[in-house]
Structure 1
Amino acid sequence: MANFDIDDFLKNLTACPGVYRMLDAKGKVLYVGKAKNLKRRVGSYFRNSKLAPKIRILVNQIYNIKITVTHTENEALILENNLIKALQPRYNVLLKDDKSYPYIFLSADDFPHLGFHRGAKQAPGQYFGPYPSVSSVWQTLKLLQGVFPVRQCEDNFYRNRSRPCLQYQIKRCTAPCVGLISKEDYNQDIQHVVMFLKGRDQQVINELVIRMEEASQQLAFEQAAYYRDRVASLRRIQARQYISGKKMDIDVLGVILAERMACVEVFFIRGGYNLGNKTFLPKLEGNLTPQELLSAFIAQYYLNREIPPVLVLSHQPKDMNLLTEVLSEQAGRKITLIKPDRGPKVQWVKMALTNAKINLDQCLAKKSSIAARFKSLQRLLNLVNSPQRIECFDISHIQGTSTVASCIVFDREGPRNADYRRFNIKGIIPGDDYGALRQALTRRFKKKEGIFPDLLVIDGGKGQINQALTVLEEIGVIETTVLGIAKGPERKAGKETLFLAGYENPIMVTPDSPALHLLQHIRDEAHRFAIINHRKRRARGGKLSRLEEIPGLGPKRRRKLLIQLGGLQEIMRAGVEDLAQIKGINLVLAQRIYDILHR
C-alpha cells in the first residue's frame, strides 16, 4: 500500500451505501465490492488482523480506492454487478460469491411466456434487467400484463388447459392455450413487449396510435378504444420501469454564465441509466465566454480520470479537436465531443442547461440576499462599516452532561464551513452555561491567531453578553462588537430580543427585517452545529436511537416506520422514495430521515 494513506482515506469516507473499486499501482482494478456502509466495509479490510491469506495478498497490492455512492444498497448491488462484468477484476473471482439478480425472462416458445427469472441463464429466450429488487420485477410484470396481454403462466399450466383461465376473462391474456389468438397476432404483442423492455417505448406508443387512428377511420370504435387505453397505460408506466434502455455511456455538460458567475452542470448516463448530475460553480478570473469556460473545465475535470466515450456539450469549444485528441490519447480509445443540433441529445443538453440555470439563479439570489441582509444589519446596529466576518457561539447539553460549544462563521459569501470550530467543555459545574461560554470564548481568542470577527453573536441575553465582554477584555480584543440574540417568552421565530453591548435597552426589530433573518440564520446554524457535535459526544458515552434524533419523527411515526419496513436495518437500506411511501412520511421528512441516517 505504498503512497496510500488509508487512515486519511477512511477519515473522509462516507457511511452511505455504494460501490468501492480497489486499484493497483498501474490503475488496474483489482477488486469491486458493494457495501451498505462504505466506511465500515472498506475499513474492515485494514482493521481486521484475521484476514484470509488471499485477501491479505489483495490488500498489499492496493494503491488507490475509488468510491461510487448510490441511493440504496440495491442500486449498489446492480452497479457492482455491472462493474464486475465490464472490468472483470482478478480478485472478484477468488473472493466473491456469485450473486443472483432478478430478471424478466421471455421464452423462445411458439407462444412465448413472460416471467420472473433468477439464476443461471440456461433456458433459450431473452433476459431483461437486472432489476434493483424482486418486487420491482413483479411490479413491472403486473404493469406489462395490463398493457400487453401476453401469457405469464408456467408451461405445465399452459399445456394442460382445455378452456381459458381467469386471466382471459379479465382481459390480461389472449388465451393462446386454447387457440383464441393467432400466432401472428400474438407475436405482435411479443414484439411490443420486447421493444418496451429495451427502452423503445415511444416507438410502441407511435405504432399503437397509428392503429388507433386506422380503427377509428374504419368506424371500429371499440377496437380504437382498446388501443387508446393501451397508449394511456403505457404513458402512465413510462416513468416507473427500471430497466436499462439503450446501452450507452455519455456525459452531458451544460454551462451558464451570469453576473460574473458560472455554473457547469454534468449529467452522467451509464449503460442507459441516468445516474444523476453534479453541479460545479467555478470561480471566474476575468471575462470568459461559455466556450472558453467549457474548454478549461473539460481539461481540468477529465484529464487523469475515467472518461466516457461521448461528451455532449452545450457549447462548442474552439479547441475541440485538441481536446478530443488529448482525451482519446489518455483513455486509449476514441473519445467523441459533440454539440448536437438535433435528436434526443439536444433534449439532454436542454436538461443540463435548465438545471445549470436554476442552480446559478439560486446562487445569485443567495449572494444578493446575503449582501442585502448584511447592509440591513449594519443600519440596524448603527455600525460604521458593514461586517465582513461574523462569529456565533452556542452551547448544547442535556441536563448538564456532554456539554459542547459551537463556533460558526459567516462572511459576505455565506457560511464558511472550513472555519467552524467545536469545543468539548470540561471542568465546569453541570448546567453552567456561563462557564461553558467563558471556556469556549477563552479557547477561541486566547492565542490571538487567525482573523477576529467584526461582530460576535451570542445565543443568549445580557448575562451571556457580560461573559463575552469579560473574556474579550481579559484577552485584549477591543474592536469586536458583541450582540446577544435571545428567544422571547413564546420562543417563536420573529419574537427574538436583540441586546447590543454598551446599550441598556434591547433593540427593537420587526419580524420581516432582513437583518433579523440573517441573525436567525446564523443563530440556527450555530445551534445545528452544536447539536451535531453534542450527539457525537453522547454517542461515544452511550447508545442513542438514531431515529430519535430526527426532528418531526415522533413515536407514532417511528413505530410505523419500524413495523412497515421491518426494523432499523431495513430503514437504513431504504431510499427516499421508499420512505415516502409510508403513510405520514412526506418527501421532506423522508429526505431528512435518509440524510440523518447516512451522514
Structure 2
Amino acid sequence: MEHTDVETAFDAGDFLKTLTSRPGIYRMFDTQGQVLYVGKARNLKKRVSSYFRSSGLAPKTRALMKQMARVEVTVTSTEAEALLLENNLIKLHKPRYNILLRDDKSYPYIYISTDDEYPGLTFHRGARKGKGRYFGPYPGSGAVRESLHLLQKMFRVRQCEDSFFSNRSRPCLQYQIKRCTAPCVGLVSAEDYAEDVRHTILFLEGKSTVLNTELAKKMEAAASRLDYEQAAVFRDQIASLSRVQERQYVSGESGDMDIVAAAVSAGQACVQVFFVRHGVNLGNKVFFPRTPQDSSEQEVLSAFVAQYYLEHPVPGRILLSAELDDVALLTEALSEHAKHRVELSSRIRGERARWLKMGKENAAQALTARLGSQAGMQQRLHLLQQMLDLDEVPRRIECFDISHSQGEGTVASCVVFDQEGPRKSDYRRFNISDITPGDDYAAMEQALLRRYTRLKKEDALLPELLLIDGGKGQVSSARKVMEELQITEILLVGVSKGPERRAGMEILHIPGQQRELDLAPDSPALHLVQQIRDEAHRFAITGHRQRRAKARNVSPLEGIPGVGPRRRQQLLKHFGGMQEVARAGVEDLGKVTGISRDLAQKIYDTFHG
C-alpha cells in the first residue's frame, strides 16, 4: 500500500491523518522527484509524524525538511521486512540524507577442491559454486596470498591451476624448492597427499590443538622407525604452526566473530571491521560511508551493520563499538537472513573488550589521516580551479590514457577523481579494436565515444574537467568526440610532458582558449594533475598487460569457426600437440574424426596464411 500526492501541493496534515500505524518504510522526495531520504519504522504514523514537529528537530533533519516536497510510504508485514526493503531502496536511490556504505568489491576466499583426487588450494573471488570447501571471507587479496604462502610452506598442497597440473610430465619448480610434493607425477601417494590436505583444513578451521597433537605423534613415530628426514618435516611444520599461532590466533576465541568499530568527526565517518574466523584473525578492512552532517556513531554503526551484513556472510557474533537502539531488530533480521543465530553485543569485558578498543583506535586514526588528506585535496582543487579559471571547484574529474605495445593489445583507461580523491569503483577500461595498430588518436576517439555515449544515454553524472594524457593531437581528437555528442559543459585539458619529457615540466593544453599553461614544478595544482594522469597511466598499462597476456595464451585454433572445444581436443590428441597440428597438411588434418575437407583447409590456412 502506498500514499502518494504528486499533482497537488503536499498537505502534511491530511497525509498524517490517513497514515497507518503498521510497520513499513517511508521515502521523502524533493520538488524534482529525487529521493532525499529512506527510513524504516515499527509504527509509520508515529515515526513520520515526528518529522513535522514545530521544534526539537536536529539540524540535519531541519535541512531535510526544508527540501522535502512529498512523502510516500510502503507498508510491510514486519519491521524486519521493512529493514530489508529500506536497505534495497538505499542501494537503489543513494539518497543524500542517508548514510551510504560504499563497498563495491566481492571478498576473497581460500578454496580447496576437496572432490578432486589431488585437491588444489587456490585464491577465489566471486560466486562460490565449485564443489569443495571455502574459507573466509578475507578482508583483501593480500591476506589471502599471505595465508596461501604460509600453507604452502607448511603442508605443501598444490596451488597450481588444474590445466597446469594435468599436463605435467615432470615436477615443476615448486617441488624443487619444497613447496609441493608433486602429486602431478606421482611422487607422493594419494594417502599421504590426502593427509596433507586434511592438515590444511584443520589449520583453516582453527583446530590448532588437534593439529599440533597429531603432528607431534607423527614426528615421534617417524623418529622411532629411524626415518629422521620425515621426522624433521613434521618438526618444521610444528615450528611454523607455532609461529603462525602467535601472530594470528585470537586468545579465547574458537568461532567466527567480527569486530566493528566506528569513528565520527567533522561530518565524516570511518568503520573498521576485523574478521575472525575459526579463532584466527584474518585481518581488517576500512570503510568510509557517506554520512550526512551531524550523524552519530550509533547511526553510522546501525546503517553499516544493516547494509553490510545483508550483502555479505554473517558470523555468529558481532562486537560493536557503541550500543544501538535497534539492536533487537538487527539481531532478528540478520539471524533470519543468515539462517543461524547472530549475536550483536557492545557491553563486553576481557580480551574482547581489548579487541574492540583496538578497533576504535584504528578507526579514529584512519579517519584523522583521511581528513588530513582531504584537506590537502581541497586545497589542490581550489588552486586548480583558479589556474584553469573555472566558475567553481570541480566535483568530478576524469582522465584518459592509451597503452599498447607497438600497436598490440591497445587499451584505454578512464580514472575518476572526486573531492575525496580517487573513486576506483567508477574506473573503466576499454579494449580498443578495428583501428590501425598504433593509432593513438583513433584509440582515444573510440574510448571517449563509448564512454560518453553511454553516460548521455543513462543521464549519468558528467565530469566538469576532462584530462587527456597527450598534447594537441590527442586533445583535438577528444574535442571532435565532444562536439559530435554535443557535450559542451566539460572543460578539456591535455597534459603533455613538455620538451624534455620530465616530471614537473608538464604543459597543459586548453583548446578553444589558444593558451598553454606551463606550471611551476612545486605547484600543488600541478601535483594533483600529475597524480590523476599517473593513475590513468598505471590503470591503462595494467589493462594492456592483462589483454596482451590473455591474447598470447589463446590457442590459434580458438579463432576458427567450426572448431569447438571437442574438436580442438581431438586435434591435439591426434597429433600430440599444437606444434604438430601446425605442421600437418590438409590431408592429414582431414583424417581426424569430425574434421571435414573444408574445415581441414581452414585450419591449414590459419597456420600458413
User: Would the alpha carbon gap of residues 118 and 13 (structure 1) be closer, same or farther in structure 2, given more than 3 Å must change?
Assistant: farther
Instruction: Tell me how far apart the structure 2 counterparts of residues 140 and 375 of structure 1 sit (CA, whole Å).
Output: 53
Instruction: Tell me how far apart the structure 1 counterparts of residues 482 and 311 of structure 2 sit (CA, whole Å).
Output: 50
Aligned twin of 2:543 = 533
Out of 461, 465, 470, the residue aligned to residue 455 of structure 1 is: 465
Contact 1:483 1:498 in 2 (8 A): yes
Aligned twin of 1:19 = 111
Give the C-alpha shift of residue 456 in structure 1. 2.1
Aligned twin of 1:495 = 505
Give the C-alpha shift of residue 287 in structure 1. 3.3
Give the C-alpha shift of residue 256 in structure 1. 0.7
Instruction: Tell me how far apart the structure 1 counterparts of residues 529 and 292 of structure 2 sit (CA, whole Å).
Output: 32
* 370-379 vs 244-253, greater mean Cα deviation: 244-253
Instruction: Tell me how far apart the structure 2 counterparts of residues 105 and 319 of structure 1 sit (CA, whole Å).
Output: 37
Aligned twin of 2:237 = 137
1:163-178 equivalences in 2 (<5 Å): none
Instruction: Tell me how far apart the structure 2 counterparts of residues 238 and 474 of structure 1 sit (CA, whole Å).
Output: 60
1:335 partnered with 2:368: no
Give the C-alpha shift of residue 356 in structure 1. 0.8
1:92-491 equivalences in 2 (<5 Å): 97-98=194-195, 99-101=197-199, 116-118=216-218, 137=237, 139=239, 245-249=251-255, 250-285=257-292, 287-302=294-309, 307-320=314-327, 333=341, 335=343, 337-340=345-348, 343-445=350-452, 448-449=456-457, 450-491=460-501
Instruction: Tell me how far apart the structure 1 counterparts of residues 395 and 492 of structure 2 sit (CA, whole Å).
Output: 14
Contact 1:310 1:335 in 2 (8 A): yes
Instruction: Tell me how far apart the structure 2 counterparts of residues 497 and 460 of structure 1 sit (CA, whole Å).
Output: 10
SS at match of 1:277: strand
User: Would the alpha carbon gap of residues 39 and 371 (structure 1) be closer, same or farther in structure 2, given more than 3 Å must change?
Assistant: closer
Contact 1:101 1:118 in 2 (8 A): no
Out of 145, 148, 158, the residue aligned to residue 73 of structure 1 is: 148
Deviations 1:79-121, CA, capped at 9 Å, x for gaps: 9x9xxxxxxxxxxxxxx94535399999xxxxxx998444999
Give the C-alpha shift of residue 310 in structure 1. 4.0
Identity of aligned residues (%): 39
Instruction: Tell me how far apart the structure 1 counterparts of residues 466 and 417 of structure 2 sit (CA, whole Å).
Output: 11
Counterpart residue identity of residue 248, structure 1: S
User: Would the alpha carbon gap of residues 504 and 349 (structure 1) be closer, same or farther in structure 2, given more than 3 Å must change?
Assistant: same
Q: How many residue pairs get matched?
A: 388
Give the C-alpha shift of residue 378 in structure 1. 0.9
SS at match of 1:362: helix
Structure 2 gaps of 5+ residues are 1-103, 139-143, 158-192, 224-232, 555-609
Instruction: Tell me how far apart the structure 1 counterparts of residues 446 and 482 of structure 2 sit (CA, whole Å).
Output: 12
Contact 1:244 1:271 in 2 (8 A): no
User: Would the alpha carbon gap of residues 294 and 16 (structure 1) be closer, same or farther in structure 2, given more than 3 Å must change?
Assistant: closer
SS at match of 2:252: coil
Give the C-alpha shift of residue 240 in structure 1. 5.3
Give the C-alpha shift of residue 257 in structure 1. 0.8
Give the C-alpha shift of residue 20 in structure 1. 6.7
Instruction: Tell me how far apart the structure 2 counterparts of residues 350 and 446 of structure 1 sit (CA, whole Å).
Output: 50
Deviations 1:32-81, CA, capped at 9 Å, x for gaps: x86324369978x5xxxxxxxxxxxx79xxxx9886343333667999x9
Aligned twin of 1:518 = 528
Give the C-alpha shift of residue 304 in structure 1. 8.3
Instruction: Tell me how far apart the structure 1 counterparts of residues 214 and 134 of structure 2 sit (CA, whole Å).
Output: 41
Deviations 1:507-561, CA, capped at 9 Å, x for gaps: 13122222112211211121122112212221232159xxxxxxxxxxxxxxxxx
* 502-511 vs 65-74, greater mean Cα deviation: 65-74
Instruction: Tell me how far apart the structure 2 counterparts of residues 289 and 407 of structure 1 sit (CA, whole Å).
Output: 36
Instruction: Tell me how far apart the structure 2 counterparts of residues 42 and 306 of structure 1 sit (CA, whole Å).
Output: 12
Deviations 1:403-432, CA, capped at 9 Å, x for gaps: 222222333233344443333333433323
Aligned twin of 2:121 = 35
SS at match of 2:517: coil
Contact 1:15 1:37 in 2 (8 A): no
Contact 2:111 2:134 in 1 (8 A): no
Counterpart residue identity of residue 372, structure 2: A
Counterpart residue identity of residue 277, structure 2: R
Please report the TM-score for the alignment, with normalisation by the length of structure 2: 0.52
Instruction: Tell me how far apart the structure 1 counterparts of residues 319 and 110 of structure 2 sit (CA, whole Å).
Output: 26
Contact 1:253 1:312 in 2 (8 A): yes
Deviations 1:263-284, CA, capped at 9 Å, x for gaps: 2212223343222122232233
Give the C-alpha shift of residue 346 in structure 1. 2.9
Counterpart residue identity of residue 18, structure 1: I
Counterpart residue identity of residue 408, structure 2: T
Give the C-alpha shift of residue 352 in structure 1. 0.2
Instruction: Tell me how far apart the structure 2 counterparts of residues 365 and 533 of structure 1 sit (CA, whole Å).
Output: 31
Counterpart residue identity of residue 68, structure 1: P
Contact 2:109 2:135 in 1 (8 A): no
Counterpart residue identity of residue 283, structure 2: G
Aligned twin of 2:597 = none
Instruction: Tell me how far apart the structure 2 counterparts of residues 319 and 39 of structure 1 sit (CA, whole Å).
Output: 33
Instruction: Tell me how far apart the structure 2 counterparts of residues 279 and 134 of structure 1 sit (CA, whole Å).
Output: 38
Contact 2:506 2:518 in 1 (8 A): no
User: Would the alpha carbon gap of residues 136 and 285 (structure 1) be closer, same or farther in structure 2, given more than 3 Å must change?
Assistant: farther
